[in-house]
Amino acid sequence: MSEQPWWQKAVIYQIYPRSFQDSNGDGIGDLKGILDRVDYLSWLDIDAVWISPIYPSPMADFGYDVANYVDIDPLFGTLASFDRLLSALHQRGIRVILDFVPNHTSHEHPWFQEARASRNNHRRDWYIWRDPRPDREPPNNWLSVATGGSAWEFDRATGQYYYHAFLAEQPDLNWRNPAVRAAMYDVLRFWLDRGVDGFRVDTIWRLIKDAAFRDNPVNPNYRDGDPPFRRLLQVYSTDQPEVFEVAAEMRRVLAEYPGDRLLIGEVYLPVKRLVAYYGPNLTGAHLPFNFNLMFVEWKPDAVLRLIQEYEASLPLGAWPNWVLGNHDQARIASRLGLAQARVAMTLLMTLRGTPTLYYGDELGLENVPIPPERVRDPFGVNMPGTGQDRDPERTPMPWDRSANAGFTAGEPWLPLGRDLSIQNVEAQKRDASSMLALTRALLDLRRRELALSVGDWAPLAVEGDALAYIRRRDGRRFAVVLNLEPVPKAVRFADDLRGRTILSTHPDHTGYAVGDRTELDADEAVIIAMEHAGNTARPDATG
Ligand code: NOJ
Ligand code: CA
């Protein structure tokens, strides 16, 4: 069997660059800041970083509005500082994944400036232009994710609407135009030539829209509190079959380069649709991000069903992946509470497939409440009071007990949270019972035991309302048993596990022999090393 590509065993760590480390006192994280923290990343022992966009941008969507795909925003640094960071990370064996934002550019991108200059500009068809309806209304009913209003912006000068799935400052590119494709593939090559190890492709499932721009149907299940754009089902505005051809083309660009460059796709779809993004014959994304753990009901049955459905739906040869947090969703510690965040981390690091860890989740960082006057995220500004603000999960990384937790010598762009005396890297490094210590122990175990990263996964039948499964590779077998509730549980297994707990969310609970039952504390998850499969039939030498 051929050696697995690096990303199958890898743990990916997402850095939101504005909030990781500021190096020049302007209150905004930057590349030099990340460089100053490379030792931390190396100590934590992650395999790859994915850095959210760092390209020149007017920052209407904090970098997801790119004005130049082949440079670095001065706020973050320069191409030279990027190269320094890349080589420092590579020296420590850490790969670098960039965020690629192909669905839309900034309205300040020269391509859009040309496109909007006149109806017959040679770049006009690089974007999506439509005539108004006879009543002057937008061409169809599609809604913007970023505002909840129409996704069409009228351009007075040329008398047509352009489409923007997100902000009006983020016009969608026309991916049916081969010239757009060619230009964007050259962008990939620019960064691949520089040595990056892969891309996370922003909102890949939106690249191709219905050719006839039909109205989206009303969502009968819309409920108060859902994001406003969900009033319609995105049937025609997303997830069109021609998108797989685009993903395959991107994949082929990566294949021009040696070293297993990685293509990750951002896809918010249920399992059945999500797995299509591996592409026909696995020609699509290596890893279509699997976000379903972030939305599943936190009960043993529901989580088990999700894992089984996902495992069963994977095309032959497709590699799984799991995500617990990112810069668009509430922090896991706020969704489930700190105690369950430890259980969730244990789950993430013991499932089959590549885990992605969001910066700060290793500390159990919580959503930071943002006073209305400090809201910066356009979702929060445009849809106040609807819970859409993403600032709470994007706040600065707390490093130590100094002013602003060591993040900046200036005024941080977003406020830091409470409890910084405990929730900081330095304090948690010294505390064997901290979330950071747990995360690191899990990463360490996962690196040492291939069964936990690339081994087989199988459910383990238990009595007692816990989530349980087995990981196995060669002779090595581990049982993972997780209590998803804040009450103790007595768990009974069908067979004698003949094992010993080697890791627990409760630090002193290791080293216990486990037979056909075990007691879990409230909010406790344990990893049990089972006796070698081959050992079970060994005659007792002391007879
Ligand atoms: C998904 C990104 O993760 C999100 O932060 C951004 O606002 C949209 N795509 C638009 O690029
Ligand atoms: Ca800075």
- 216 CA to centre of ligand 1 in angstroms: 21
Residue 378 CA: nearest ligand 1 atom is: 7
Residue 146 CA: nearest ligand 1 atom is: 7
| Domain housing 121 | 110-163
82 with 127, same domain: the answer is no
350 with 403, same domain: the answer is yes
Residue 64 CA: nearest ligand 1 atom is: 11
**What pLDDT, on the 0 to 100 scale, is given for residue 542?**
40
Question: Quick check: is 418 in a domain?
Answer: yes
Tokens of 510: 């290791």
437 with 484, same domain: the answer is no
The pLDDT tens digits along the chain (543 residues) read 457 999 999 999 999 999 999 999 999 999 999 999 999 999 999 999 999 999 999 999 999 999 999 999 999 999 999 999 999 999 999 999 999 999 999 999 999 999 999 999 999 999 999 999 999 999 999 999 999 999 999 999 999 999 999 999 999 999 999 999 999 999 999 999 999 999 999 999 999 999 999 999 999 999 998 999 999 999 999 999 999 999 999 999 999 999 999 999 999 999 999 999 999 999 999 999 999 999 999 999 999 999 999 999 999 999 999 999 999 999 999 999 999 999 999 999 999 999 999 999 999 999 999 999 999 999 999 999 889 999 999 999 999 999 999 999 999 999 998 888 888 999 999 999 999 999 999 999 999 999 999 999 999 999 999 999 999 999 999 999 999 999 999 999 999 999 999 999 998 899 999 999 999 999 999 999 998 755 444 444 343
- 499 CA to centre of ligand 1 in angstroms: 45
Respond yes or no: is residue 202 known to be catalytic: yes
Q: From the CB of 328, is ligand 1 less than 6 Å away?
A: yes
217 with 117, same domain: the answer is no
CATH value at residue 129: 3.90.400.10
Q: From the CB of 203, is ligand 1 less than 6 Å away?
A: yes
In the set 131, 186, 256, 463, the catalytic residue is: 256
pLDDT digits (tens, 9 = 90+) for 157-189: 999 999 999 999 999 999 999 999 999 999 999
Residue 61 CA: nearest ligand 1 atom is: 7
313 with 338, same domain: the answer is yes
Question: Quick check: is 451 in a domain?
Answer: no
Q: Give the whole-angstrom CA distance, residue 147 versus residue 134.
A: 25
Q: Within 10 Å of residue 291's Cβ, how many Cβ atoms? A: 23
- 465 CA to centre of ligand 2 in angstroms: 48
Q: From the CB of 366, is ligand 1 less than 6 Å away?
A: no
Residue-wise DSSP of 253-272: HHHTSSS--EEEE-----HH
142 with 92, same domain: the answer is no
**In this structure, which amino acid lies at residue 252?**
R
Q: Give the whole-angstrom CA distance, residue 76 versus residue 30.
A: 4
Q: Which of 202, 323, 356, when mutated, tests ligand 1's pocket best, judged by the most ligand atoms within 8 Å of its CB? A: 202
- 389 CA to centre of ligand 2 in angstroms: 23
pTM exceeding 0.95: yes
Boundary of a domain, candidates 444, 473, 506: 444
Tokens of 291: 């976000």
pLDDT digits (tens, 9 = 90+) for 365-421: 999 999 999 999 999 999 998 899 999 999 999 999 999 999 999 999 999 988 888
386 with 473, same domain: the answer is no
Q: Give the whole-angstrom CA distance, residue 164 versus residue 54.
A: 21
Beta-bridge partners for 98: 51, 199
**What pLDDT, on the 0 to 100 scale, is given for residue 535?**
44
Respond yes or no: is residue 155 known to be catalytic: no
95 with 122, same domain: the answer is no
